[in-house]
Chain A
Amino acid sequence: EAGVTQSPTHLIKTRGQQATLRCSPISGHTSVYWYQQALGLGLQFLLWYDEGEERNRGNFPPRFSGRQFPNYSSELNVNALELEDSALYLCASSPRTGVSQDTQYFGPGTRLTVL
């Protein structure tokens, strides 16, 4: 069974540009989560999508947004990029809606570098 996949692996942008990161969940999983892993800040929850709806977002500005498509894949968009947005962005998926004890399975991440 294929795991969570993310693309691209690496992304280099300049300040002020927009970045789009993509995630495909494990087949049969309906929930998709995004996390940011920035140097010195640890792993921070960004967004949770389920059944095409944004269910929750972390403490990030509105220029971080995303969506979930009917096939449950997801996109994270970061507008007006700032240097501090440089980080590894991890996507995860889980099989059931809002079941806290369900495991979140993580993808390999997208390394975003903002110059």
Chain B
Amino acid sequence: AQSVTQLGSHVSVSEGALVLLRCNYSSSVPPYLFWYVQYPNQGLQLLLKYTTGATLVKGINGFEAEFKKSETSFHLTKPSAHMSDAAEYFCAVTVSNTGKLIFGQGTTLQVKP
């Protein structure tokens, strides 16, 4: 069965610092992996996704993630944090033929000036 674990429910960085949000998955089949961002009182916005092919995936707003099969990880990074990046971030994996996205518990990113 597929599952997702996000390490760290809260991450705090200074503006301009590296952002690293961790996601590990469990899947018995090749996974399709997603990162979504949720700003306060809003829905989810897709940042990036991995389906097949290149393991380094670039997304919107300068974010990228690398699929590492050997480590069952899909960590999200951004070289330089901006105040506007403060939000909650969710890693998710699809379950084949079910329509279901399984989400991690989310990581709240705080960016300090």
Q: Taking the complex as formed, is A72 at the interface, i.e. its CB lies under 8 A from any CB of chain B?
A: no
Contact pick for A58, options B43, B46, B51, B100, CB 8 Å: B100
Task: Bits for A79-115, please: 1 = Cβ < 8 Å to B, else 0.
Answer: 0000000000010100000101101111111000000
Describe A's contact surface by its main secondary structure.
strand
A-B contact count (CB 8 A): 56
Q: Report how far A43 CA is from B104 CA in the complex, Å.
A: 8
Interface size class of B (residues with CB under 8 A): 20 to 34
CB atoms of A106 and B36 under 8 A apart: yes
CB atoms of B49 and A108 under 8 A apart: no
How many residues of chain A are within 8 Å of chain B by beta carbon?
Answer: 24
Could you say which of A35, A55, A90, A106 has the most chain B C-beta atoms within 10 Å of its C-beta?
A: A106
CB contacts under 8 Å to A, within B76-100, are 90, 92, 94-100
Task: List 5 A-B pairs, minimum CB-CB distance, nearest first.
Answer: A48-B99, A101-B51, A106-B43, A106-B44, A43-B103
The interface of chain B, by Cβ under 8 A from chain A, is 32, 34, 36, 42-46, 49, 51-52, 90, 92, 94-106
